[in-house]
């Protein structure tokens, strides 16, 4: 089984979400066209709720970049599985603790776990349509969560 080492991962973007509060609640810009990476163009958006203690993933995409907005307490697990990357075989864990943006390019295996005591929300704005136009293509996912020999493990 390959051994990943702790380290930075080239191409990952992690940004704190700036929010503005008043007596009604809070508002935060998730993305702006003028602040996106020049190579990234979102194609769709979705929202998901993850229950406390639940893990989603690990999986990777061959072509898709994910643009996650985490709202809640998560541990985000990242493994650089790109053989041509200078950070190949690095792994990284990011704790979200509130509001955080993570841009994850193709070839990065990723998973996240709700580490809080309440349901938590994830918004995603990937640059590919799920299952392609009209949902008529293969889904761009390589799933690892059920592989007993998988090197991608979530604590």
Query: Per-residue pLDDT for the chain (155 aa), expressed as one digit of tens each?
Result: 779 999 999 999 999 999 999 998 999 999 999 999 898 999 999 999 999 999 999 999 999 999 999 999 999 999 999 999 999 999 999 999 899 999 999 999 999 999 999 999 999 999 999 999 999 999 999 999 988 889 999 98
Using a 10 angstrom Cβ sphere, with 0-12 exposed, 13-18 middle and 19 or more buried, the burial of residue 30 is middle
Query: For residue 2, what pLDDT is reported?
Result: 78
Task: Tell me if 112 sits within 8 A of 73, measured CB to CB.
Answer: no
Query: For residue 104, what pLDDT is reported?
Result: 98
For the chain, the straight-line distance linking the first and the last C-alpha, in angstroms and rounded, comes to 17
Query: For residue 146, what pLDDT is reported?
Result: 84
Query: For residue 148, what pLDDT is reported?
Result: 83
| Nearest CA-CA partner of 66 in 48, 45, 49 | 45
Is the whole model's pTM more than 0.75, yes or no? Answer: yes
Assigned superfamily of 5-130+139-143? Jelly Rolls (2.60.120.10)
Q: Where are the domains of the chain?
A: 5-130+139-143
């Amino acid at each position: 089984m390959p051994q990943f080492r702790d380290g930075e991962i080239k191409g990952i973007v992690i940004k704190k979400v700036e929010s503005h509060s008043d007596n009604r609640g809070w508002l935060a810009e998730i993305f702006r066209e003028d602040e996106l990476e020049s190579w990234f163009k979102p194609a769709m958006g979705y929202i998901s709720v993850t229950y406390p203690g639940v893990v989603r993933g690990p999986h990777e995409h061959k072509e898709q970049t994910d643009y996650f907005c985490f709202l809640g307490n998560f541990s985000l697990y990242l493994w650089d599985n790109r053989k041509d990357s200078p950070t190949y075989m690095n792994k990284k864990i990011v704790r979200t603790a509130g509001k955080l943006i993570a841009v994850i390019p193709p070839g990065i295996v990723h998973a996240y776990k709700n580490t809080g005591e309440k349901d938590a929300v994830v918004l995603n704005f990937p640059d590919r349509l799920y299952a392609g136009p009209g949902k008529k293509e293969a889904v761009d996912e390589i799933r690892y969560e059920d592989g007993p020999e998988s090197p991608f493990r979530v604590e």
